[in-house]
Structure 1
Amino acid sequence: MLIKFLEQPNCLLNQRNRYQLLATMLINLICISHGIGIGWLSPILRKLQSDESPLNFQLSISEVSWVGSAVGLGALVGNALMGLLLPRIGSRLCLLLVAIPHSCLWLLVYFAEGAEYLFIGRFLAGVSCGSIYISHPIFLSEISDAKIRGSLGAMLMLSVNVGILLGYILGTHLAYHIVPFVVLIFPIIYFISTLLIIRDSPMHLIRKGKYKEAEQSFRYYKNIKDSDQLGALTEFEEMKQTLTQSDKNSDKVTLKDFLTRPALKAYCSAVVLLIVNQFSGLYAMVNYMSDIFALSGSSMDPDTCTIIIGIVQILGTCATTVLCDIWGRRILLVVSSAGVAFSLTCFGLFTYYAQWYDLSEWSWVPLFFMSLYIFLGNIGLVGCFFVLLVEMFPVKIRARAASISIAICSLFVFIMLIIFPLCMDRWGVPATMWSCAGITALGFIFFIFFLKETKGKSMLED
């Protein structure tokens, strides 16, 4: 039975898929490190605003919003750089470059003498983040089989969420100046493993006319031996012929290519996906989770609740990894958006009534609904986001359109991170939660009636 399971084409441990899985796990080391940076900030921000600040200064609410949102500005720069570099120097070199600004973040954290150090550090973390969210999904889509592409793509956010949980734990239990030394291990291992093991994708090498290297890369990632010579050549030649024909005019992409019927449909879906992904608050709340629990009216320890949320987040993306290529992207997004809207509404109701009544006996309620919110948010709106964003665009404009979309997403990240703490401070937690719930509910309606399924779609077709 085990042998039959391993022989299934959609099994990640299938002999053909093993090197694709290995490459995914190695490049996601930097995603874990990025997640640590996100999660670590949540408990640390509360400390930096208190008299127990581990540094010789305290942060104001305004400084908190700027430090928190700096990652969005950096991501815009990272998106632009990666969009320019990826088609020119290839995925392998781009993957290597990602480690440099991320490492600088932790050096600035260690030597911080003012809020500007943290702002610049978070900005550089954003450069790394913006680069990751373009280079990784595109690279994985080009080396993976269609039957496992969704699972491998979902592992990106799974890795980020593992890092977020580690960040929550490290920020809560380790001294401020010890954390940078611990975390720097990840980008170092990532850089070395990428340098020694990762190869450029066969698609990129074909576009550069390096057909021999492209075939070697194809064989490597498909784990095809010499005994499979005929089948390997047939599959590779089909890819080579398709890409060669489609790329003859790739340098002459015109405005008309962006105005085709498939492209316009993809834009509508992408805009809704981007808005709901960010303005559902899923990313912002992860950054400010400890503050949210402190203001929720619950008597439970905010840092303990935050760590529990980190575990739930991992379970959500694990579910996406398993279900993405079984159920499809659309059904996960429908379930996810409905659950997020419901959970936020209930969380807002509790925090509203906690202002007027003693609800100490119900302190578990905010944790329950926030856990439900995070779990359901991660099975679709987070876990399927980058997979779907790459798959939905026509092949000729895919790289450019995906890059532009992720750049817009980074802008939304910046806006959401800078206004979220201000909204909680001025509107209160209930109104903030209900606003996010309303936006997500509108997305739910769109996903039901208009979103096109991309499960099993070939990356060589529109």
Structure 2
Amino acid sequence: MFGLCKNSEGVFKFEFRRQLLASVCITIITFCHGFGLGWFSVILSKLQSPAETELDFVITVYEGSWIGGLSSLGGGVGNIIYGVMLDFIGRKASAYCLAVPYIVSWILVYFARSVEYLYISRFLAGVTGGGTYVIIPIFIGEIAEPKIRGRLTALFSLTLNSGIFCGYIITARMPYHYIPIIGILLPVIYMVLQIFFPETPMYLLARGQDERAKKSLKFYRNYEPTTKESATQFEMAFEKLKSDVTSHQANTVGVTWHDFCNKRAMIAFGNGFVLMWLNVFCGAYAILYYTSSIFVAARTELHPDTNTIIVGLVQVTGVYTATILVDRFGRRPLLIFSCAATSVGMTIFGLYGYFLQETSVDLSPVRAWLPLLNACFIMFVANSGLIPIPFVLLVELMPPKIRAKAAAVCLVIFNILGFVLMKMFPISLAAFGLYWPMWFFALTSVLGLVYIVIFIKETKGMSLNKIDPET
């Protein structure tokens, strides 16, 4: 089967096949995390309804906001824990550990006797989610060659959104207590598949295990010695990687506060903070996490679960588009397009909400299709750039000496911002209606567009050791 890839181009090219397979397999845990997010988006409105809940208790709007917010707080904790584990026990062992809190979270969902079970469950699921944002981009960045790194890293968002879509469908169609069984089986499959992939060559070189590193590089480069020339080229590639790792280690020895406070680092931190803010407050996550609740507020005539499934399919299409285009057209053009289009979609959503709630305008001719069409448009354009690309840039824009630590700090900020959004959005939706939150998201996207045009540089195809935010 894989022999068919010998004449393929791009990520399916013969020498890239194991990099692709490893990336697909490790992002299964991202699919699992997305599955849990999709479950929450659909199940929340059911658990808040005395007529629809399958549990012995009903969740209030306030409790629902805490369930959503605790997922992001768990993400911040996961960023820190797995950020430490990454260098302490290695990329491969850390990847195994991602599955543990996620499995426990579904056990708590199955045996839930009160809302506190769900609080702890979503916190633990968030820990796994936060860990994926730390481990997976670094793992893929260390095994992938620069020409396909963007597309393989974008698999993170593709599998996340595919998991959300499956979570939407299964939760809408399956009884409550069947879903945790699926939620437990998925990470078990993920752990079994990880057995077949070695530790990254860069981590092994950093630990002085040169022979294991060479075997690992041969595996991921799909190296098959056919001629003396190919063997020489591989040895040169290995020596260059070894030199890069040695240089990186020399640069990272004795990291001080000055390394975080110099001009280059401050520019990178500023870019990272803005990208995280824009990623969260462009509004796509609000639609993602509270899809059914938003369609209830929009008074659409279709069933909220049907709308949610359609939106989930569209967001998968959007992030697949980004996966294809990120290494072809670059990061910056996709971000610019995504920001501009998302601001338009959010403005339209806000206008719809304003006319629905504050005027007597008859919206019955458009109520059946406009909220759904607009939500689909927003999720497609946001997932074409604003959702996946900031995490690609987060690794690429940071100075090599502080890359891991700086990226971890930005991810903690991302989860703090996510907590604010998840906690406040349902409360704001109930207090102010649909239009004020949507107009806030539109304003954020417009300001983000201006910032990207002025300050964000293109990093397409550049070596991780050569990207400099000042150039």
User: C-alpha separation between the residues in 2 aligned to 1:402 and 1:440?
Assistant: 22
User: C-alpha separation between the residues in 2 aligned to 1:354 and 1:341?
Assistant: 20
TM-score between the two structures when normalised by the length of structure 2: 0.95
Q: Quick check: 306-315 or 441-450, which moved more?
A: 441-450
How far did 1:361 drift?
A: 1.6
- Pick one of 272, 276, 279 that aligns with 1:270: 272
- What does residue range 98-117 of structure 1 map to in structure 2 within 5 Å? 98-117=98-117
User: C-alpha separation between the residues in 1 aligned to 2:6 and 2:224?
Assistant: 18
Q: Could you tell me which residue of structure 1 aligns to residue 354 of structure 2?
A: 352
- What does residue range 50-449 of structure 1 map to in structure 2 within 5 Å? 50-51=49-50, 52-194=52-194, 196-227=195-226, 228-355=230-357, 356-362=360-366, 363-449=368-454
User: C-alpha separation between the residues in 2 aligned to 1:88 and 1:361?
Assistant: 60
How far did 1:460 drift?
A: 2.4
User: C-alpha separation between the residues in 2 aligned to 1:416 and 1:22?
Assistant: 35
Deviating 4+ runs (over 3 angstroms): 3-9
User: C-alpha separation between the residues in 2 aligned to 1:171 and 1:418?
Assistant: 22
How far did 1:197 drift?
A: 1.1
Q: Quick check: 196-205 or 149-158, which moved more?
A: 196-205
Cα separation, partners in 2 of 1:223 and 1:46, compared to 1, 3 Å: same
- CA RMSD of the aligned region, Å? 1.5
Q: Could you tell me which residue of structure 2 aligns to residue 31 of structure 1?
A: 30
Paired amino acid for 2:417 = F
How far did 1:141 drift?
A: 0.5
User: C-alpha separation between the residues in 2 aligned to 1:368 and 1:444?
Assistant: 23
Unaligned runs of 5+ residues in structure 2 are none
How far did 1:242 drift?
A: 2.1
Query: Contact (CA 8 Å) 1:243, 1:460: kept in 2 or not?
Result: no
How far did 1:358 drift?
A: 2.6
Paired amino acid for 2:80 = A
- Pick one of 448, 456, 464 that aligns with 1:459: 464
Paired amino acid for 2:47 = L
User: C-alpha separation between the residues in 2 aligned to 1:122 and 1:445?
Assistant: 35
Query: Contact (CA 8 Å) 2:322, 2:384: kept in 1 or not?
Result: yes
Query: Contact (CA 8 Å) 2:8, 2:14: kept in 1 or not?
Result: no
Q: Could you tell me which residue of structure 1 aligns to residue 45 of structure 2?
A: 46
Please state whether the residue corresponding to 1:456 is helix, strand or coil. Answer: coil
Give CA deviations for 1:219-259 in whole Å, capped at 9, x if unaligned: 11111123332111101101101211231252311122223
Paired amino acid for 2:21 = L
Paired amino acid for 1:49 = Q
Give CA deviations for 1:91-141 in whole Å, capped at 9, x if unaligned: 000000000001111111100001100010000000000000100001101
How far did 1:6 drift?
A: 5.9
How far did 1:357 drift?
A: 2.5
TM-score between the two structures when normalised by the length of structure 1: 0.97
Query: Contact (CA 8 Å) 2:287, 2:375: kept in 1 or not?
Result: no
User: C-alpha separation between the residues in 1 aligned to 2:97 and 2:262?
Assistant: 35
Unaligned runs of 5+ residues in structure 1 are none
Query: Contact (CA 8 Å) 1:32, 1:159: kept in 2 or not?
Result: yes
Cα separation, partners in 2 of 1:188 and 1:372, compared to 1, 3 Å: same
Paired amino acid for 1:241 = S
How far did 1:371 drift?
A: 0.7
User: C-alpha separation between the residues in 1 aligned to 2:290 and 2:68?
Assistant: 8
User: C-alpha separation between the residues in 1 aligned to 2:387 and 2:96?
Assistant: 25
How far did 1:417 drift?
A: 0.3
Please state whether the residue corresponding to 1:177 is helix, strand or coil. Answer: helix
Please state whether the residue corresponding to 1:459 is helix, strand or coil. Answer: coil
User: C-alpha separation between the residues in 2 aligned to 1:354 and 1:61?
Assistant: 22
Please state whether the residue corresponding to 2:12 is helix, strand or coil. Answer: coil
Give CA deviations for 1:46-77 in whole Å, capped at 9, x if unaligned: 11111121100000111000011111111111
Query: Contact (CA 8 Å) 1:341, 1:440: kept in 2 or not?
Result: yes
User: C-alpha separation between the residues in 2 aligned to 1:7 and 1:263?
Assistant: 42
How many pairs does the alignment contain? 458
User: C-alpha separation between the residues in 1 aligned to 2:441 and 2:280?
Assistant: 9
